[in-house]
């Protein structure tokens, strides 16, 4: 059976036989434990393999419904793809810092940043879909994440409402310490919908305006 793929794929990745077979392989289930507890979670959950290089990541090899386990319900681990985990780790977030997850979605990276920050500091979590933010709040409550503020934001020059009380957040221009986690190649950027590109550009512009921002994360 031929593998159907968008036209831009050929320009961005080596779409060879190995890559195509990987797309048809059963996906692996990756978990993210709280910092420093991967071994403990693996021992209690069983059927797990701790990743040798990605901190706090473990692969689940069993067949149990993880959502029903006591460990999941208590927030001991999250089900999160390892690629997303690497993005969070690359940010190097530290306790007490301020971060903006500009395209928070259902909060996977927001929760990861909070874990890395030991629930200290502040994370602004914004998304253009209200239903995603509702799920974010439920997941944050289960994971006992408290150092975040969530708000709707669909791009534009105005900062999200959750940033209203940030010192200098609406008046300061320049001088911010914002960084963007992720890389943009001209070819890949051109292939993305204009809405996503616009959100990313607006987030970068506002990130530089907001006083005290340490970094900014987006899925782009």
CA-to-CA separations, 87 to 25, 40, 44, 97, in angstroms, rounded: 23, 23, 27, 17
In CATH terms, 87-217 corresponds, of 3.30.930.10, 3.60.20.10, 3.30.70.330, 3.40.50.150, to: 3.40.50.150
Residue % of the chain over a pLDDT of 70: 69
CATH class of 9-79: alpha beta
The pLDDT value recorded for residue 220 is: 46
Residue 214 has pLDDT above 60, yes or no: no
Mean pLDDT value of segment 95-102 = 90
CATH 3.30.70 region(s) of the chain? 9-79
pLDDT reported for residue 180: 32
Residue 58: predicted pLDDT: 96
What's the gap between Cα 70 and its chain centre?
24
- Within its chain, how far is the Cα of 11 from the centroid? 26
Q: Delimit the CATH 3.40.50.150 region(s) of the chain.
A: 87-217
The pTM for the full model equals: 0.73
Section 23-27 average pLDDT = 86
Sheet containing 48-50: which strands, arranged edge to edge? 48-50, 57-60, 29-33, 77-79
**Tokens 């793809």 label which residue?**
81
pLDDT, average across residues 13-29: 84
Per-residue pLDDT at 178 = 32
pLDDT band at 167 (very low <50, low <70, confident <90, very high): very low
Reported as a pLDDT band with limits 50, 70 and 90, residue 158 is: low
pLDDT in the model for residue 128: 87
């Amino acid at each position: 059976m031929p593998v159907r793929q968008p036209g831009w794929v050929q320009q961005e990745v080596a779409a060879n036989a190995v890559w195509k077979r990987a797309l048809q392989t059963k996906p692996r289930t990756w978990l993210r434990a709280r910092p420093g507890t991967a071994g403990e979670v693996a021992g209690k959950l069983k059927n797990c393999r701790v990743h040798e290089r990605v901190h706090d990541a473990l692969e689940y090899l069993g067949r149990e419904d993880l959502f029903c386990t006591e460990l999941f319900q208590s927030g001991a681990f999250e089900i999160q793809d390892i690629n997303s985990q690497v993005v969070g780790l690359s940010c190097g977030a530290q306790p007490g810092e301020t971060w903006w997850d500009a395209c928070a979605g259902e909060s996977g990276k927001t929760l990861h940043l909070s874990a890395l920050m030991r629930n200290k500091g502040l994370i602004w979590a914004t998304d253009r879909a209200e239903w995603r933010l509702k799920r974010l709040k439920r997941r944050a409550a289960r994971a006992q994440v408290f150092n975040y503020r969530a708000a709707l934001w669909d791009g534009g020059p105005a900062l999200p409402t959750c940033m209203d009380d940030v010192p200098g957040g609406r008046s300061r221009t320049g001088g911010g310490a914002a960084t963007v986690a992720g890389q943009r190649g001209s070819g890949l950027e051109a292939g993305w919908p204009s809405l996503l590109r616009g959100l990313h550009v607006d987030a970068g512009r506002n990130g530089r305006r907001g006083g005290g921002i340490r970094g900014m994360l987006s899925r782009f």
